[in-house]
Structure 1
Amino acid sequence: MRKLMRTPSVVGIIIVIITMFGLFQYDLHSSKSPVNVWITTADQSKLLHQEAALAWTKDNTLNDSTIVIDGEKAYQQIDGFGAAMTDSSAWLIANKLSPEHRSVLMNKLFDHMQGIGISYLRLPMGATDFSLKSYTYDDMPEGQTDPKLENFTIEYDKAYIIPTLRKAKELNPDLKIMGSPWSAPAWMKTSGSLIKGSLNPDFYQAYSDYFTKFVQAYGAEGLQIDAVTPQNEPHFEPDGYPGMRMEPADQANFIKSHLGPAFEKAKLETKIVIWDHNWDEPYYPIQILVDPEASKYIAGSAFHGYAGEVSSQQKVHDLFPNKDIYFTESSGGEWMTDFASSLKWDMQNLIIGSTRNWARTVLKWNLALDESFGPKNGGCPNCRGFVKIEQKTGAISYNPEYYAFGHASKFVRAGAYRIDSNTLGSGNIEDVAFRNPDGSEVLIAFNSAAESRSFKVTRGGKAFNYTLPAGAATTFVWSGEKRSAKYMRYPR
């Protein structure tokens, strides 16, 4: 009798030990928890609508419509999902809304419970095509230079950009910021103008000091800069708004001889991320990363989605698996007015496609624009933000991008890891899965078929079934136990 009583305790101890070392292929706690479900349909009848929870059932069978989750096989860590806090976006939020409406909007953008919990923002370093005017942080009269940066100031940003960023950070303490310049100050450029031209090599050191001062100035305002890119879209010189060309060899030289050492000397932890342009030129970051002296200062490569295919991210990752991938810009716009088409593009290419191709950030362009797709400073005539703010009335409306990104940003927390899941592919159920720092797991699925599709999700001998309408996106969330990352396997 005494011997029989000892046996369960020994077995229990063995189970605990095995579980601690991650040898089980599933988490008992997560398999017992309910599966919470949110859905957005193509006809907009449901927009991030919470459905009735599902229950796990014991089921080891597989078929052609099964998505298998392996929570122990981890890929890249996630910094966040979001958009750009352009000058235009910040100005509208700060100046065209009543305090009550501003509070509502900020909560719907940055709070996880009341809104979609945006956790990453891209911040233009000076003017873009969505600014109230053209400016940098060190503008000088024509013919004058300032190599010691005695006139450097972020005073312009203090009026409404910095206060809006602070409020966002208050609502989501995990929020991170990436700085990206559209142009160096005109006096540093070969064109002598914010329009066109490239960086004059004589001012490489001054420009690296410019970046250092920017990071330090924002830090003094309580806003840490997580990363910078040396140049937004370095292979595009727009005619009507700030821009600057920068070739791979020039970017490599600037980083290895100036920007990297400058950050190192100033003891800045801000990451340096290269390229920051379209998928169609993966050779650009590759040409820089093969230079070991430049590469040692570089955290990763950033991509935009206006040309090429998302698979380019995978190509760069495969060649440099220890360098991160970021997706930093793609705009919604009136060239795609249909809600269903916009939802489909973002879900397939960005939320699912970009993260399955190693992106640790996924960002759209403007956070907010007005009824005339502005304020504009040249450039895109009909780009769309996450939200539209009517200048005269202060009315707020939410665009397809808000809901597409909400399926990720609301549920996938900063610090999560993408975990292994098979996808059924284009024309079927496409998906991606994550494990949050608290152990909860998230599966985002999109039905790209022309008709509804039924599928099964299995995780460690447990399963649930679901039918997703054509063109609909859904997010499944179930709780789990917090696990140390060292117990997870990281395929490269």
Structure 2
Amino acid sequence: MALGLLLCFQLAACDDAPPRADAGAGSRGARVEAWTTTSDQRLALAPSTLEFGPADGPVDIEVDAATRYQQVVGFGASITDASAWLIRNRMDTAQREALLRELFGREGDGIGFDFTRLTIGASDFSRRHYSLDDPPDGKPDPELRHFDIAPNRDDVIPVVKQALAINPQLKVMASPWSAPAWMKDNGNLIKGRLAPEHYDAFARYLLKYVEAYAAEGVPVTALTVQNEPDFEPGDYPGMRLNAPERARFIGDHLGPLLAQRAPQVQIFDWDHNWDKPEEPLGVLADPVAARYVPAVAWHCYAGDASAQSRVHDAYPDRDAYMTECSGGDWEPLASGGLTLQMRSVVIGSLRNWARGVLLWNLALDENRGPHAGGCGTCRGIVTIDSKTGAVSRTDDYYALAHVSRFVRRGAWRVASTATGDGLDNVAFVNADDATRVLVVGNSGAAPRALGVREGGRRFVATLPAKSVATFRWAAGEK
């Protein structure tokens, strides 16, 4: 492999070689660093170097660093119960430290995750179904006397704390998959709705979660009130909570409570798919609830990322976040692979105002688990061998790494030409205003030449077939 890659660099003629400078692009000029990953992972964040040349000549992507949109909060994945349990119980100390430093650190080959999501109680990627207030007799507990984060103490909390030790700036959001069974109209964690008489108790339940995690050294900075509130799964915790119900719950209960007791915690509405923008629009149209909702959270499983812009256009002062999308073995993702995930989720979300992108499980095992119900074909950002603790990296790892490793918190997304025809891109200026980052995906089955210009400078590269490349360069003289 090493010899073959070396030959590709020398000959600049292999279909899966990293981006390379065109002979006519000029032999002298400022350096452009590039990293490339192909769908077959024969290249995996493989580095190369190009140079700027004269600005004349064909241009596919014009980067305008002066036209700025949203600022970036970060990228990452969810530390689900399954992910945390594997990291704690199927890896030794050295393996665990190495993996978390790779994912959350920036030194060496660290990919710098700045953003993560936790589940409040069980999700389908838990080893059993539970809430954080399960009275032994199953009777209502409106005083929350049985509230306890004990189910998270052996795995989720230690893993998050270790990630925070590596990256103290890590932003943590959290979402419930269901209220405790006794709060629901069917008395069950599976299916059902939140009973109106327990709206106040559920608000206090979420506050107690925030306070309990803070006491453990894990600051939660954002909550959603319900994961996928327009869906009632049949074999794992879930709860339907439509826009009028969420507006009432947020406006009359959770919003005022957090404003008084935990004003640092933001509420993100929706936390569900792109195909129903009318749902968050309904909450934002409620003047009482809207004052407590600075952002909308989105999932990728239906619709497309343009829904984020529809809501942003109606409420330009509200932020957008991609908070869940899983890779896995289904079409079109199975055949589209890395470049589809990059185009539709990462680049698509960011070009439609997302300030952060979270994919689903941080880690799963070779059997796509453990899980209790739900998705049996989902994959993690990494796969941990449950027998050896060895780690392999999935398409989703590389889709995130191509942004998370190079785009720092506070970076601005800036204008870049929408290319189409199998090429997709998004551009940034890092917060220090010193570096530009351009991420480009080539979904085509053939290599593609690409001309990029910023100001009076231009470089030309050739992207391998079915690949993603990140380009980084310093700002020119002003």
Q: Which moved more, 1:83-92 or 1:384-393?
A: 384-393
Q: Is the 8 A contact 2:333 2:341 kept in 1?
A: no
1:231-277 deviations in whole A, cap 9, x for unaligned? 00001111111000001100000000000000011142111001111
Structure-2 residue corresponding to 1:42: 39
Q: Which moved more, 1:211-220 or 1:85-94?
A: 211-220
One-letter amino acid of the structure 2 residue matched with residue 86 of structure 1: T
Q: Is the 8 A contact 2:39 2:337 kept in 1?
A: no
SS in 1 for 2:218: coil
Q: CA deviation at 1:333?
A: 1.1
Q: Is the 8 A contact 1:107 1:115 kept in 2?
A: yes
Counterpart Cα distance in 2 of 1:218 and 1:79: 21
- Are 1:115 and 2:110 matched, yes or no? yes
Q: Is the 8 A contact 1:228 1:273 kept in 2?
A: yes
Distance 1:464 1:481, change over 3 A: closer
Structure-2 residue corresponding to 1:80: 74
Unmatched 5+ residue regions in structure 2?
Answer: 1-27
Q: Is the 8 A contact 1:339 1:400 kept in 2?
A: no
Q: CA deviation at 1:481?
A: 9.0
Structure-1 residue corresponding to 2:217: 222
> How is 1:44-443 mapped onto 2 (pairs within 5 angstroms)?
44-51=41-48, 53-59=49-55, 61=56, 63=58, 65-113=59-107, 114-335=109-330, 341-425=336-420, 427-439=421-433, 440-443=435-438
Counterpart Cα distance in 2 of 1:42 and 1:273: 33
Q: Is the 8 A contact 1:233 1:275 kept in 2?
A: yes
Q: CA deviation at 1:34?
A: 2.0
Normalised TM-score (structure 2): 0.90
SS in 2 for 1:83: strand
SS in 2 for 1:228: strand
Normalised TM-score (structure 1): 0.88
SS in 2 for 1:57: coil
Structure-2 residue corresponding to 1:488: none
Counterpart Cα distance in 1 of 2:393 and 2:94: 17
4+ residue runs of structure 1 moved beyond 6 angstroms? Answer: 337-340
Q: Is the 8 A contact 1:277 1:303 kept in 2?
A: yes
1:287-338 deviations in whole A, cap 9, x for unaligned? 1111111111001111111111111111111111111111111111122598
Q: Is the 8 A contact 1:373 1:381 kept in 2?
A: yes
Distance 1:462 1:275, change over 3 A: same
One-letter amino acid of the structure 1 residue matched with residue 82 of structure 2: S
Q: CA deviation at 1:479?
A: 2.9
Unmatched 5+ residue regions in structure 1?
Answer: 1-30, 484-492
Q: Is the 8 A contact 1:138 1:151 kept in 2?
A: yes
Identical amino acids, percent of aligned pairs: 46
Counterpart Cα distance in 2 of 1:122 and 1:345: 23
Distance 1:359 1:482, change over 3 A: farther
Q: CA deviation at 1:341?
A: 2.0
For these two proteins, the number of residue pairs brought into alignment is 449
Counterpart Cα distance in 2 of 1:190 and 1:380: 26
1:345-371 deviations in whole A, cap 9, x for unaligned? 111011211100111111111111111
What RMSD, in angstroms, separates the aligned Cα atoms of the two structures?
Answer: 1.9
Counterpart Cα distance in 1 of 2:335 and 2:45: 14
Q: Is the 8 A contact 1:438 1:482 kept in 2?
A: no
Counterpart Cα distance in 2 of 1:338 and 1:308: 15
**The structure with more radius of gyration:** 1
One-letter amino acid of the structure 1 residue matched with residue 270 of structure 2: W
Distance 1:143 1:153, change over 3 A: closer
Distance 1:162 1:480, change over 3 A: farther
Q: CA deviation at 1:412?
A: 0.9
Q: CA deviation at 1:54?
A: 1.7
Q: Which moved more, 1:31-40 or 1:184-193?
A: 31-40
